[in-house]
Chains A and B, each alone.
Chain A
Amino acid sequence: MNKQMKQNENQERREFLGAMAGLGVAALGMAEPRLRAAEKLIQPKATADACILLWMAGGMAAPDTFDPKRYTPFEIGVPAGKILCTFPSIPTALDGVRVSSGLENVAKVLDRGSLIRSHFMPDLGNILHSRHQYHWHTGYVPPQTVAAPHIGSWMSRILGPGNPAIPPFINIGQRLEGHGESEELKAFTTAGFFGGEFGPFNIPFPADAAQSLQPPKGMTPQRFESRMKHWRELVQRSPVGEKTSDFHRDSIIRSLENAHRLLHSKEKAAFDLSNEPESLRKIYDTGRFGQGCLLSRKLVEAGARFVEVTTEYVPFLHWDTHENGHTTLAQMKQQIDRPIAQLILDLEKRGLLERTLVVVATEFSRDMMIEGVPGSAAKDQSRAKADVMGELKQYGLHRHFTGGCSALMFGGGIRKGFVLGATAEERPLLVTKDPVSIPDLHATIFTAMGISPKTAVEVEKRPFYATEDGKGQAVKKLFEKSV
């Protein structure tokens, strides 16, 4: 590396540092891997300061949610091939735009954001949810030769915390132990090569979030303070290494002080759902996802940078309907409808929506007949196969469809009352205009957050980009103003 480049890099790093709100956590951003000073890389002007990703884990069927098609009610003897979706549609705040019934509340706030009906995923030849989820969350299809960071870790690494007392990347609602594919989930729920500092702060149970920033159970605050006091004293009094500074030693001292600050900050209240009005809590409380939505609002308000709230991926549960799709989706919509709408309204009311990007996304859609895309080699994984409907459990979109999928974006500079793209009216329900790939959707998110999709870090001496090979392109139409 020549001298000029080194200088550029330093300069750029300084700029990034400048953008970080506080020292503390941010000061550690110096660790390997280093940001690369790409030639004349222009960082876009951010239209959002924070991002909330509402993750519909398990494959949310677009035709039964945000992209309804011709409705065929359940009846014994109806050929499966005739069924495109299993719910009637309802009008929304947007003229001529309809969504699936059960989403009445989100329908009313569609004028606050953009509905994308042309998101699509690559066909990976065989469906494994965790693999597609890895792809969506990191922007890279696994396996990869290096551990790819979660998109939240990119935010954390590049932008740092919005408030040094709040972890920049918070992950709500996903348990990482105790069920199928948990190892696969761990593989992308990580900062990867960025290192632990930029990893997720996991809150599997939002109602217990306050506990995660308390001194351990059974410890009084006074006792914890006394531990810290004596710890500081013993660090001071140690005859070992007291005269020389060492980066290992410094990191331990600094990190524990940071942790202590988190545990004692006034922002800690942001983790505590119990200090919200009961009436509001009731609106949100459709379960863990709903509580997570409320928590995400509080955290963003307090300065979190990136919060993911998931409906939680557990194989064959929630959105992952291999049978009984219709019945399950009615429940799932009930779970997400009120909280999502309320989150948007709440953010708006507090003047936060303008600078908070809310994204609703999933790893792929579902279909009654097709696995993957037409002609895919993907194995049929339906558990309620039937050519004609015989019983209710066969009624639902039980196959994983990658050729066309819906996503929503609100706030943070995103155009209001806009529908992007479309899918075919008849099977196969492929995207017919304005296709948006994962790299492009990520590029849109990064751009809104003021990060160029070409931003790269150097890993093992080669560049690793925020979007695959730096090629993601922000969807310009999705922005309110030109970016």
Chain B
Amino acid sequence: MKYLFPLLPFFFLPTALMAQEKPVDFIHEIAPILRKHCASCHTNGTYKGSLSLDTREGIVKSKVAREGNSKGSDLIRRVHSSNPEERMPPKGDRLKEKEIALLARWIDQKFPWEPGFSFKATAYVPPLRFRQVAIPGGAGHPIDWILLKHYGTNQLAPPAGISDAAFYRRVSLDLVGLLPLPAELQAFSSNAYSNKRGRLILQLLEDKRAYSDHWLAFWNDLLRNEFKGTGFIDGGRKQITAWLYSSLLSNKPYDQFVRELLLPGADSEGFIKGIKWRGRVNASQVPEIQFSQNVSQVFFGINMKCASCHDSFIDTWKLQDAYSLAAIVADKPLEIYRCDKETGKFAEASFLWPELGKIDPKAPRQQRLEQLAALVTHPENGRFARTMANRYWHRLMGRGIVHPVDVMANQPWNEDLLDYLAEYFKKSGYDSKKLLEHIASSQAYQSRAVMLAEDPGTADVVFHGPLLKRLTAEQFIDAVWLITGAAPKKIDAPLGKEPPPAAGLIERQMVRATMVHSNLLMRTLGRPNREQVVTTRAETLTTLEALDLASGPIFHDLVLQGGNRLHKSQGSSNPRKIVEQIFLAALSRLPVESEVQSAVAILGDNPSPETLADFIWVIFLLPEFQLVG
């Protein structure tokens, strides 16, 4: 970066001349001054002289600053004053002339503020350690016991249950990403075993292949892993596909899984290596800082992106925290940059919660990583278990107990529930399948889907059953492939070895969308580039997506293949039979009479490849097909 400097003064001369008119930048120029000199006495609960600088409103009310008039403002007068009765701060270092000039300019510009910004910390402090939650004994699922209280408090009846078929569709899509086949569905509905739902959950989870194929997408999103993509072009990125896939196949305990990511072998080092772009990058995007950001976000739902440039304005993490975490992985001393400028200070390796244990900053890198791996997965690190339990809950229920799932500093809508699941997860030996099974076997999961007229965004939603979810791009494509028989023949994911076959019927043995390169259709439907960590996909269908489904060549071709295939296999059947079969395969239910009428009208008396294609197109575009209800 240094070689740039000789040129810069020349370039920036005109800008420097305009400095007087330049608008101040509250967040980067003013907030740090206030924090340094004023905050300890006038913000966040301490308001000496009844002065609160928490918000702009507070300043207006106090009249210490007058809009557009720094000369007449008490604040400026006092930071200048040498009168011991008046001077601010009353003790210690005075403000530098440069800082006072900035404050004056800020007041002259009517002291702009960052919308929503306050020096007052949010009231909620997420606990670090685990907490035992007392569950009343007796029959019933612990999750439902906890929720019983929740329903009571909110004066809600426990949500109504769902049919076997609806349950099968939901749980199959959620656990293995596939629609149930008509034959499986019929067998399940007519079967009278006790606890047949529990058995189904187990049976799905035991299908290693289907489970791994499905969850690969979730982990690829989370760990920024892709089979091809940016960064690979010049060796700046390394994929971890083979390791990841085999970890899913063996249901590797989550704590061990994370230890192997942090203390990697050659096959899992891609995660901590990050993505290295050719050329100079912003100091907040060097691989060490990517490491800090990703470890924080993926394992703890902490946003260190702000703090890797300057002290965070949205929570309590500081620049130093971001760099201390980064320093663990650094090969050589890591200089701290603030907003992309050198500070001359060097980071000392340490972990987010020193109360759990120390990283020895002087130890070699390998040893520091070992220490980190131990602290992240520390038996008393409840944040580790809560973050993942919340992610699994989110996947199954459509919304986190803490939401959004990447802001684990937010208050959960039910602390008992989150703490219970975290504890359960740990006690199970961080067995992801056990936790998924536990959630899926609750009444809460097996209840009717909640419909929301409007996207709630980050607003509170009172839990009353799982939310409707949109199929991911991969689920949607798999579902279409299952019905059209148009799945590709070859896996693109470099797994290192042949994966085991999927369990059950032959139709389930297809190559899944998660296992092949993305194409334009999948991209349109929301499969991400995976350059950034992705933890949630878009919940709504957009016009451009619909356009691809209405007239795009890839989808059109799939539908045509489906029409041909169905014509070969079922063309001679009675149209009503075909309609019933497709409804079962696509929607996991039989059509009502009025639907049969419509559908038969599309097919005609002698269904042709064309009318069959038209019919499945209509089915694929139904909201009911594209959603998990």
Contacts and interface: CB of A to CB of B under 8 A. Distances in A.
A423 to B, nearest CB: 12
Interface in A39-98: 39-40
B618 A234 contact: yes
Nearest to B525: A196
Given A38-B115, A246-B451, A251 B25 contact: no
Given A183-B230, A237-B592, A460 B551 contact: no
Contacts of B290: 143
Most A CB within 10 A of own CB, among B3, B469, B520, B542: B542
Interface string A233-266: 1110111110011111111110110111011000
A127 interface: yes
A215 interface: yes
A376 B454 CA distance: 53
Interface residues of B, number: 101
A422 interface: no
A237 B595 contact: yes
B23 to A, nearest CB: 8
A124 B285 contact: no
B556 A216 contact: yes
B189 interface: no
Mostly helix, strand, loop or mixed at chain A's interface? loop
Nearest to A127: B279
A145 B452 contact: no
A207 B539 CA distance: 34
A461 B407 contact: yes
A93 to B, nearest CB: 28
B547 A143 contact: no
Contact of B281 (A123, A141, A259): A141
A19 interface: no
Contacts of B281: 124, 141-143
A201 interface: yes
Given A30-B455, A230-B614, A255-B546, A125 B280 contact: yes
B303 A226 contact: no
B532 A126 contact: no
B188 interface: no
B305 A460 contact: yes
B155 interface: no
Nearest to B547: A259
A314 B305 CA distance: 33
**Chain A interface extent, by class:** 35 or more
B233 A238 contact: no
A234 B595 contact: yes
Given A30-B455, A32-B457, A183-B233, A255 B278 contact: no
B466 interface: no
B545 A255 contact: yes
A34 B618 CA distance: 33
Contacts of A470: 25
Nearest to A187: B230
B544 A199 contact: yes
A373 to B, nearest CB: 6
Interface stretch (B41-49, B97-105, B621-629): B621-629
B113 interface: yes
Given A131-B277, A375-B6, A187 B451 contact: no
Most B CB within 10 A of own CB, among A142, A213, A255, A430: A255
A128 B278 contact: yes
B549 A256 contact: yes
Interface stretch (B352-360, B497-505, B596-604): B596-604
B284 A145 contact: yes
A215 B556 CA distance: 9
6 contacts: A145-B305, A230-B599, A246-B453, A256-B550, A430-B7, A469-B25
Interface of B: 1, 3-4, 6-7, 10-11, 14, 25, 27-28, 55-57, 110, 112-116, 228-230, 232-234, 275, 277-282, 284-285, 290, 293, 303, 305-306, 308, 313-314, 406-407, 451-455, 457-458, 468-470, 520, 523-524, 526, 528-529, 531-532, 538-547, 549-553, 556, 587, 589, 592, 594-595, 598-599, 601-602, 610, 614-615, 617-619, 621-624, 626-627, 629
Closest 9 CB pairs between A and B?
A: A126-B279, A251-B540, A125-B280, A216-B556, A246-B451, A197-B542, A255-B546, A259-B546, A124-B279
Given A32-B458, A246-B452, A249-B627, 18 more contacts: A2-B57, A28-B542, A38-B115, A123-B4, A143-B275, A183-B228, A196-B544, A197-B544, A216-B552, A235-B622, A237-B595, A247-B453, A248-B468, A249-B468, A258-B543, A259-B550, A461-B303, A469-B28
